Each structure stands twice: as structure tokens, then as C-alpha cells.
């Protein structure tokens, strides 16, 4: 069963009420969708969702430490950012991809990573972006294209992700 995240990015630092509203909006089971704490002391499950055949969770371990797990296995840990968010999930002909957004510092509003659930094991791409928090995402021919405005406001940069490979196109 697949799940698509709708709307804007959901912040990893959101209040419990916002997480509960997210779970309701995504039609996730109340018991498994949002939990106050993980087995790890002081950890909080911020988002939990079924995507394809996988369970993806965003877990806050402490200030500036957020993990992304797939089926309880850590696939990415962010120790630099102020926030980590799910932007959306995309089904690329049976291969599920999740676009993650990180906010790093006051100079760069956002950078992005792709969580790939379709390979032999889940993986996370290298970071990319122009510091813009306004991605335009397109899907075609098993390729996810993320376009972002450049800082000059006149041009755009674009990255293609396909089968585990991230390439800057312009």
C-alpha cells in the first residue's frame, strides 16, 4: 500500500498537535502514526508513514539530531540542520522516492536529499539545491527532476535522480 505526502514540507520540530494533524491528514492509524517516544531515551517519533511496503520514520533524538529510519533501520542521520522535513513521496513505476528538505543555517533556507526505497537497500542521496525552499518537482521516465530558482532570481537549477544516481542538469 502506498502513501503520498500532500502539501508543503512538515517540519521535524513541529508541535505534537501538528504531528497529530499530519497523521490525520495522511489517514495513518492513530496508534502507529504518532508516538510520544521511541525505545531510545528522550527520542520522539515525529512522523511515521507507510510508503510502498516500507515504514519510514523521522525520529528526533535531541537538539539538532534527527534520524530517518526505514523499517527500524537508520538510513540517514542529520546532525547539522535546524529542521528536517518530508516534502513528498513519489512512485516512480513501483520505485518509491521521498524528497527530504533540510534547513541548515540562516544563510541557506533549504537543501534537499532523495530517500530511495527502491534499491537493494534504502539509500539517501548527497545534498543538493540552491538554498531555495520552493522546489518544483516533476516525474517522467523513472526520473525525478527537482528544479529550484537560483539566487539571481532569473534562472533555475535542476537535478535529476534516477536509479540511485543524482545528476545536476543545469
pLDDT in tens, 28-77: 333 333 333 344 567 889 889 999 999 999 999 887 789 999 999 999 99
Whether 83 is covered by a domain: the verdict is: yes
Whether 134 is covered by a domain: the verdict is: yes
Which of these, 58, 21, 64, 62, lies nearest to 42 by C-alpha position? 62
Count structural domains, the chain: 1
Q: Which residue has the higher pLDDT, 17 or 87?
A: 87
Q: Which residue has the higher pLDDT, 144 or 16?
A: 144
Whether 8 is covered by a domain: the verdict is: no
∠ CA 91-43-10, nearest 5°, is 40
Give the phi and the psi of residue 149 in degrees, each rounded to 5.
-65, 140
Whether 2 is covered by a domain: the verdict is: no
Q: How large is the average pLDDT for residues 2-31?
A: 35
Q: Is the pLDDT of residue 27 over 50?
A: no
Q: Quote the cell numbers at residue 156.
A: 533555475
Q: What is the pLDDT of residue 32?
A: 34
The residues, any chain, with a CB within 8 Å of residue 54's CB and separated by 6 or more, are 70, 71, 96, 117, 122
Whether 141 is covered by a domain: the verdict is: yes
Q: What is the pLDDT of residue 82?
A: 75
Whether 142 is covered by a domain: the verdict is: yes
Domain that holds residue 95: 16-168
Q: What is the pLDDT of residue 40?
A: 59
Whether 11 is covered by a domain: the verdict is: no
- Residue 101 CA to residue 72 CA, distance in Å, equals 21
Whether 27 is covered by a domain: the verdict is: yes
Amino acid at each position: 500500500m502506498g502513501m503520498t505526502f500532500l502539501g508543503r514540507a512538515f517540519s521535524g520540530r513541529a508541535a505534537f498537535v501538528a504531528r497529530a494533524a499530519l497523521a490525520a491528514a495522511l489517514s495513518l492509524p492513530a496508534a502507529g502514526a504518532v508516538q510520544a517516544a521511541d525505545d531510545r531515551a528522550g527520542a520522539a517519533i515525529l512522523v511515521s508513514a507507510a510508503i510502498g511496503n516500507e515504514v519510514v520514520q523521522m525520529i528526533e533524538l535531541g537538539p539538532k539530531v534527527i534520524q530517518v529510519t526505514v523499517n527500524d533501520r537508520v538510513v540517514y542521520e542529520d546532525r547539522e540542520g535546524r529542521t528536517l522535513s518530508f516534502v513528498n513521496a513519489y512512485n516512480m513505476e513501483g520505485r518509491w522516492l521521498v524528497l527530504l528538505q533540510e534547513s541548515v543555517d540562516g544563510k541557506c533556507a533549504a537543501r534537499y536529499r532523495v530517500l530511495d526505497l527502491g534499491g537493494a537497500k534504502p539509500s539517501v542521496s548527497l545534498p543538493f539545491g540552491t538554498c531555495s525552499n520552493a522546489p518544483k518537482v516533476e516525474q517522467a521516465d523513472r526520473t525525478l527532476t527537482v528544479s529550484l530558482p537560483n539566487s539571481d532570481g532569473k534562472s533555475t537549477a535542476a537535478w535529476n535522480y534516477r536509479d540511485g544516481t543524482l545528476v545536476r542538469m543545469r
